[in-house]
């Protein structure tokens, strides 16, 4: 079962930078990016599917495989970031010379919108209060051990079924490096995954997510920025972003969440996009002290 659709891309569109947030760095069991091609395994409302996006000189071809092929191909332009609306951003970006420069440099970058909430919840919960290496290792292990192969011609794993996550005992997650707090937060979200997928927009999803114990503003922002392509979602509570914003916009070495939101206020509507631009431009505050250590729960 397959479906195909032709997509038009805007001038200077940057494929790789636009879809980067959809994949875990280094190796993602549920996706693969090879320069001009993206393969992405998903669970759609109509069943499992694999989306293949192929970029060429004149545009992009979207092909879907599996029972959910038609659903994911219909949303392929959003997944690629082609529904991202930057029409109001140029005027806001002009308020600060660095933001204006980065907006021009990365004008071809778009924010994806998968329309799939639990897929992003899994990764966001795993990334709570740990290093990226720890979170990504846990993600790979969960996808490889608690899921099944995706449809289509490439070897990918589907993201795990929320019902499987909810029914799996805690001790199974322990060797993945998951302590009880994050495991319980993930399982609470899995239990209401159907309601989360039914959210109509970013605000609705944020309300539902933050009503769950163990899921706060940081996790909700990480989810809606990808699931709904929300350009205003700011990851309040992040370890690095307040410092980055304070340094980039005010030359201050350290910042708080309150100071970050104050500095981002002129960009309301696109505050998350401004934070993303700093990441694309590799802007960061000076670092002091040792890095966070990577923990092991295997012998706990």
Q: What is the pLDDT of residues 183-194, one digit of tens each?
A: 999 999 999 999
CB within 8 A of 262, min separation 6: which ones?
none
At what angle are helices 97-105 and 241-250 packed, to 10 degrees? 110
**How far is Cα 286 from Cα 168, in angstroms, rounded to an integer?**
42
Which residues of the chain are modeled with pLDDT < 70? 289-300
- pLDDT attached to residue 129: 87
- pLDDT attached to residue 2: 76
- pLDDT attached to residue 274: 98
- pLDDT attached to residue 300: 43
Count of CA atoms in the C-beta half-sphere (13 A) of 146 = 23
- pLDDT attached to residue 296: 55
19: left (phi over 0), alpha (psi -120 to 50) or beta: alpha
26-55 pLDDT, tens digit each: 899 999 999 899 999 999 999 999 999 999
């Amino acid at each position: 079962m397959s479906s195909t659709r032709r997509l038009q891309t805007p001038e200077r569109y940057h494929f790789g930078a636009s879809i980067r947030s959809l994949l875990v760095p280094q190796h993602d069991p549920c996706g693969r990016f090879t320069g001009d091609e993206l393969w992405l395994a998903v669970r759609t409302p109509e069943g499992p599917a694999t989306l293949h996006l192929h970029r060429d000189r004149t545009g992009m071809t979207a092909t879907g495989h599996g029972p959910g092929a038609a659903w994911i191909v219909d949303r392929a332009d959003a997944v690629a970031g082609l529904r991202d609306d930057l029409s109001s951003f140029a005027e806001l970006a002009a308020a600060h010379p660095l933001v204006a420069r980065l907006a021009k440099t990365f004008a071809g970058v778009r924010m994806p919108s998968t329309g799939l909430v639990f897929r992003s919840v899994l990764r966001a919960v795993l990334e709570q209060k740990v290093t990226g290496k720890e979170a990504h290792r846990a993600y790979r292990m969960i996808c490889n051990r608690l899921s099944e192969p995706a449809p289509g011609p490439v070897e990918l794993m589907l993201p795990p079924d929320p019902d499987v996550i909810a029914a799996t005992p805690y001790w199974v997650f322990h060797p993945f490096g998951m302590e009880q707090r994050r495991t319980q937060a993930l399982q609470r979200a899995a239990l209401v995954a159907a309601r989360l997928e039914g959210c109509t927009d970013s605000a609705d999803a944020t309300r539902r997510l933050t009503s769950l114990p163990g899921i706060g503003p940081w996790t909700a922002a990480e989810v809606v920025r990808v699931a709904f392509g929300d350009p205003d979602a700011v990851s309040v509570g992040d370890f690095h972003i307040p410092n980055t914003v304070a340094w980039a916009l005010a030359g201050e070495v350290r910042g708080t969440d309150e100071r970050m939101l104050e500095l981002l206020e002129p960009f309301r509507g696109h505050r998350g996009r401004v934070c993303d631009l700093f990441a694309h431009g590799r802007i960061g505050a000076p670092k002091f002290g040792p890095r966070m250590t990577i923990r092991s729960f295997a012998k706990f």
